[in-house]
Structure 1
Amino acid sequence: MLKIVIENLHHREIKSNDKVRKVIDLIHENHIDWMHACGKKGRCTTCKIIVKKGMDNLTALTEREEFFRKNNRLNPSERLSCQAYLESGEIRVCVAEENKFTHMDYSD
């Protein structure tokens, strides 16, 4: 079972029986607004997640993520939710401050 916990969205839990899934797809399928200004194509960093736990449960960095890391636009604890696939287990993530929507109620 795959599981995502979004800590600063009141520890919202997403579960899936799938084997491997793209993180942003799991989030959107569970009716959670998540920014993705470039249309989930890995051309920006608006969909980034801050991974608090479970980085090893995600696929390796993509070429696009490597590009943003090299240009200091993606920290070692961050991934692009449109590029990262959850392969197994659980990840605990947060929405980055600069990517929060004003219409949503975030927690600490």
Structure 2
Amino acid sequence: MPRIIIQNLGNFIIDSESTDRKVIELIHENGIDWMHACGKKGRCTTCKMILVKQEAQLNELTERELFYRSQNRLKPNERLTCQTQILEGEILIRVAEINKFPHLQYTE
């Protein structure tokens, strides 16, 4: 069962039965506001997540993620939530400082 834990949102836990959904879809379906300026199309990096711990099998990096990595806009421990699927297991993630919303309470 895929599991997402958002560390700097009070260790918010999202469990899902589905492995064919993008991480951002699972986050939004669970009532968490997560930035996505391009409409979840992989045209920007505003939806990026920082992978703190990965005990999961994720889909391969997409063409868009490889493009942003080549431009140093996506670090090795970062993925785009609109491009990433958890095939099985658990990830511990953080919202990047630059992508935090002012109306949400973040924890450290």
Whether TM-score is above 0.5 comes out as: yes
Query: Per-residue displacement from partner, 1:16-42 (whole Å, max 9, x unpaired)?
Result: 112332100000000100000000000
> What stretches of structure 1 of length at least 5 have no aligned partner?
none
Between the two proteins, the alignment pairs up a number of residues equal to 108
What is the CA-CA distance between 1:56 and the residue it aligns to?
4.8
- Say whether residues 1:53 and 2:53 are aligned partners: yes
Aligned to 1:2: 2
Residue in 1 aligned with 2:42?
42
Q: Which residue of 1 aligns with 2:98?
A: 98
CA RMSD of aligned residues (A): 1.0
> d(CA) in 2 for partners of 1:14 and 1:3?
6
Q: Report if the CA contact (8 A) 1:49-1:93 is conserved.
A: yes
TM-score when normalising by structure 1: 0.96
TM-score normalized by the length of structure 2? 0.96
SS at match of 1:54: strand
Moved over 4 A (4+): none
User: Which one-letter code corresponds to 2:76 in the other structure?
Assistant: P
Q: Which amino acid aligns with 1:51?
A: L
Q: Secondary structure at the match of 2:68?
A: helix
SS in 1 for 2:65: helix
Partner AA of 1:19 in structure 2 = T
CA 1:52–1:11: 2 relative to 1, 3 Å: same
Q: Taking every aligned residue pair, what percent have the same amino acid on both sides?
A: 58
Instruction: Give the C-alpha shift of residue 92 in structure 1.
Output: 0.4
Q: Which residue of 2 aligns with 1:26?
A: 26
